Structure 1
Amino acid sequence: MTATAALTAGTLTLAAPASLSWATTLNGNNQSLVDTTAADQQYTVNDATGSGTGWHVTTSATTFTNGTFTLPNAGTFVTNGSTSSISSTNAPTATCSGTCTLPTNSITYPVAITTAAASPTPVTIYNAAAASGLGEVVIGGSTAANPVGWWVNIPASASAGSYTSTITMAIISGP
C-alpha cells in the first residue's frame, strides 16, 4: 500500500495596527510620547508557508507634518518592547496563537525609524531566524510582559497642531 499526502504552501501575512496616535500638551520641553491604545501595542505574523526560511517585519514612515510645520526626520519615530521607557532595550514579547514555533529575533532595541518626505527607507523592527517563527505569532500585546511601544519624540520647539505621517509595515520572507 502507498499513501500520499499533498501539502500546499500557505501564505506569509502581517496584521498590523490600523492606526497609531499620540497626544500631549506642549510645555516648552522635549517630550517622548507613547501610543497608549491597547490595540496598537501588538501586531501578528502568520507564517503558514511551511518553508522555514524565517521572516522580517519592516516599518517606514513619512515625515510628521501638520501642513505648515514638520517634526525632524531623524530621531522622531522609535519602537521597542516597552510602553513605559523609550530607551528600553527590551524586544516585544512573542507568543503563539495556537501552535507555533516562537521566532528567534536578533534585532537590537530601541529601533529608530528615520522618516522622510517621500520614499522613506524601511527599517527591520522584528525578525525570525530560519526554522523559527512558524505558525501564528503575536508580537507584543497590551497585557504582554513587553508590549510594542510606538514612540514619537516631540522637540521643545514644536508648533501646536495635528501632525500626520503615513506609516507602512510589511512582512518579508527570510531573516
Structure 2
Amino acid sequence: MRATVSCWQYVSIRHIHIGTLWLAGDGTTPVARRVQGSHPTVGQSLHRGRNDMTLRPMMAALALLLALALGGPVLAQNDEGGAGGYSEETLQQFVEAHSGVLAIRDEYTQRLQEADDREQAMALQEEANERMVNAVTDTGLSVEEYGEIARAASGDTELSERIQDMME
C-alpha cells in the first residue's frame, strides 16, 4: 500500500517550520491523508506564472517531516524513562530516517520550484512523498514510529536535544 502525504499550512517555531499533521487513511496515523478538494486553483506565483496555491502546499509538505522530528516544545513533556524512553538504537534509526527525509526534502524543494505546470508539480510531490516514506521504513522504523518519536521530541526538550546531538 502506497501512502500519500499532504500538509496545508505551517508556522515557524524556534527556527523550525511546523506543519499540520500528516495523517494516514484512517485519519489518526501520522503519515498522510489527502483532503478532498485539496488542490487549490487560485492565486498566481511570481515564479514563471505558476499557480502559487498549488506549489505552496507541496513545499510545506516537504518541510513537514523536519518539523515533526525537531519541533520546539509544544506538547506536554514526557518524562517517563528520560529522553522519551527510546533506546539508543531506535533513536539512531530515527536520525538516519530523518537525515534521508531532509535530503529528499531539499532535492524536491528545488525540483518543485522548477516545475513547469501543476501536473508536473503534483507528480514530483507524489514521488517525493513515496521516497520519504521509503527513507523512513528502510531504517527499520515504521512511519507511525517515526511520527511518534517526532511528536515526543517536540514535547520533550531532553529528547529533542539528544536527537539533535546525534544528528551532528
Determine if the TM-score, normalized by the shorter chain, exceeds 0.5.
Answer: no
Higher relative contact order (CA 8 A, sep 6+): 1
Between structure 1 and structure 2, the one with the greater Rg is 1
